[in-house]
C-alpha cells in the first residue's frame, strides 16, 4: 500500500499511537514487546511517511477444535481433533489514519505472511473486540464461528 511500509516491530516509537481503543493502545504501549520477547506473539507495524506508527497487528500460532467448524468447512478437512491455525490476535489503526484502507491492508499483509511461513496453519483466526470490529472482519470475508460471533475465521 503506497505511503506505508509494513515491517516487524523493532525500535519504533510506540508512545504516540492512539487508535481509540484504550485496551489495544495500552497493549501496544505496555505489553507487546514483552509478548515478543517471550515468543507469545510477533508484531508488525505500518510506518507512515513521517516515520510514525500508523497501525499494528500481532500474529501467533493457535488451533481450533474441529467440532467448532461449520459442516461446510469441516467436510473439506481430515477429522483430526484440532485444526492448526494462525491467530491475528490484535489489530489497530491510529485514528488519524483510519478510513484510508490501512486496516484492510494490514489484514491482507497478515494473510500473506501466514501463507508463507513454513509452519502451516489452515486458517487465519481473529478475535473481534466488539460488534464494530466483527463487522469490519465480516466485510473483509471472515466468517464467525457458529458458537462465538466475536471469533472469526478465513482460510489461508
Ligand atoms: C477497525 C479498524 C482496524 C479499521 O481500520 P481502517 O483502516 O479504518 O479500515 P479500512 O479503511 O482499511 O477499511 C477496509 C474496508 O472495511 C470497511 N470497514 C471499516 N470498518 C468497518 C466496520 N466497522 N464495519 C464494516 N465495514 C468496515 C471499510 O469501509 C473498507 O471497505 P471497502 O474497502 O470495501 O471500501 C480501525 O478502525 C481501528 O483500529 N479501530 C480501533 C481498534 C479496533 O476496533 N480494532 C479491531 C480489531 S479487534
> What's the pTM?
0.96
Indicate if the pLDDT at residue 127 is higher than 80.
yes
- Best of 17, 53, 57, 103 for a ligand 1 pocket test (most atoms within 8 Å of beta carbon): 103
Q: Which atom of ligand 1 is nearest to the CA of 93?
A: 39
Q: How far apart are CA 74 and CA 68, in angstroms?
A: 9
Span 81-97, pLDDT tens digits:
999 999 999 999 999 99
How many domains does the structure of the chain reveal? Answer: 1
| CB distance 133 to ligand 1 below 6 Å | yes
3-state SS class at 90: strand
Q: What is the largest CA-CA distance in the chain?
A: 50
Query: What's the pLDDT score for residue 43?
Result: 98
pLDDT category at 146 given cuts 50, 70, 90 is confident
Query: What's the pLDDT score for residue 21?
Result: 96
Indicate if the pLDDT at residue 142 is higher than 90.
yes
CA torsion angle for 56, 44, 100, 27 (degrees, to 10)? 0
Span 39-77, pLDDT tens digits:
999 999 999 999 999 999 999 999 999 999 999 999 999
* Paired sense of beta strands 123-127 and 82-93, if any: parallel
Domain hosting 81: range is: 4-155
Q: What letter does residue 20 receive in the DSSP assignment?
A: S
Tell me the average pLDDT across 99-111: 98
- Best of 22, 25, 111, 136 for a ligand 1 pocket test (most atoms within 8 Å of beta carbon): 136
Whole-Å CA distances, 85 to 53, 63, 65, 119, 120: 27, 5, 10, 10, 7
Whose Cα sits closest to atom 18 in ligand 1?
Answer: 136
CATH number for 122: 3.40.630.30
Amino acid at each position: 500500500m503506497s505511503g506505508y511500509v509494513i515491517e516487524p516491530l523493532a525500535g519504533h516509537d510506540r508512545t504516540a499511537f492512539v487508535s481509540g481503543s484504550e485496551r489495544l493502545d495500552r497493549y501496544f504501549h505496555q505489553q507487546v514487546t514483552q509478548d515478543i520477547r517471550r515468543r507469545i506473539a510477533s508484531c508488525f507495524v505500518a510506518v507512515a511517511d513521517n516515520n510514525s506508527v500508523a497501525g499494528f497487528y500481532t500474529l501467533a500460532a493457535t488451533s481450533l477444535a474441529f467440532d467448532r467448524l461449520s459442516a461446510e468447512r469441516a467436510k473439506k478437512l481430515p477429522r483430526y481433533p484440532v485444526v492448526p491455525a494462525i491467530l491475528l490476535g490484535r489489530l489497530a489503526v491510529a485514528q488519524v489514519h483510519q478510513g484510508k484502507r490501512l486496516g484492510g491492508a494490514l489484514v491482507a499483509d497478515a494473510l500473506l505472511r501466514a501463507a508463507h511461513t513454513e509452519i502451516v496453519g489452515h486458517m487465519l483466526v481473529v478475535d473481534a473486540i466488539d460488534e464494530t470490529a466483527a463487522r469490519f472482519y465480516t466485510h473483509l470475508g471472515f466468517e464467525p464461528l457458529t458458537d462465538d460471533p466475536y471469533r472469526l475465521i478465513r482460510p489461508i
